[in-house]
Structures are given as structure tokens and as C-alpha cells.
Structure 1
Amino acid sequence: MSEPWLSADDIAEHLGVTKDTIYAWISDKGMPAHKVGRLWKFQASEVDDWVRRGDAGSPD
């Protein structure tokens, strides 16, 4: 079974941050996200790998 796609609200809750932080990370830090129409969608495994690499905490 494939991994479900998560919304910005879902991934924000998963990481314990606000949705505004998610959008800032997409723009400023290259957070892995996929644009579907006008919505951003996320795979938890991609985001978790990105966090583990330390990219979420890297300087701007």
C-alpha cells in the first residue's frame, strides 16, 4: 500500500509547528512538498528524512 498524501494542516500537526511555518520552510528552506493545483501535498517519509538531515534547522 502506498503512503497517503498529507495536507499542510496534517504535516504541521505531524511536526508540531504552525501551517505558516510549513509555508515558510517550503519557500526558504526547500522543504519537500508537491503542488497539486493550488494545494501543497506532502509525504511524511520525505519530510521526516528532510528533518533528520538537519535541513529544517539550517540557517537561511
Structure 2
Amino acid sequence: MAEPWLSADDIAAHLGVTKDTVYAWIAEKGMPAHKLGRLWKFQASDVDEWVRGGGAASSGADTRPD
């Protein structure tokens, strides 16, 4: 069976981030997404692979010490 396409809300919930963060990652970090009309769609396996590869990692310039 084919993997279902997820919405921005779905992928945000999957990753535990806000939808705004998802849109920022698409624009700034190359998060794997496909635009269908005005909607963004995602495959969880592609996004998971991108996260594991460090795609969502913060750059040194915008990290703050705890």
C-alpha cells in the first residue's frame, strides 16, 4: 500500500513542532515537500530521513546556550 500524503498540520504534529516552523523549514532548510495548488503535502518517510540527516538541525549562528 502506498504511503499517505500528509498535510502541514499532520507533519507538524508528527514532528512535534508548529506549522509555522514547518513552513520556515521548507523555505530556509529545504524540507522535502510538494506543493499541490496552494497546499503543501509531505511523505513522513521523506521528512523523517531529512531530519535524521540533520536537515532540521540549528546552525551555529542561531543557537543559544541554555
Q: Give the TM-score normalised by the residue count of structure 1.
A: 0.96
Identity over aligned pairs, percent: 78
Give the Å deviation of 1:55: 1.1
Code of the aligned partner of 1:27? A
Larger Rg: 2
1:11-59 C-alpha deviation (Å, 9 max, x unpaired):
0000000000000000000000000000000000000000000111042
The match for 1:37 is 37
Q: Give the TM-score normalised by the residue count of structure 2.
A: 0.87
> Structure 2: which 5+ residue stretches go unaligned?
62-66
Q: More helix per residue: 1 or 2?
A: 1
TM superposition outliers: structure 1 runs of 4+ over 6 Å: none
> Structure 1: which 5+ residue stretches go unaligned?
none
The match for 1:12 is 12
Structure 2 distance, partners of 1:16, 1:30, is 18
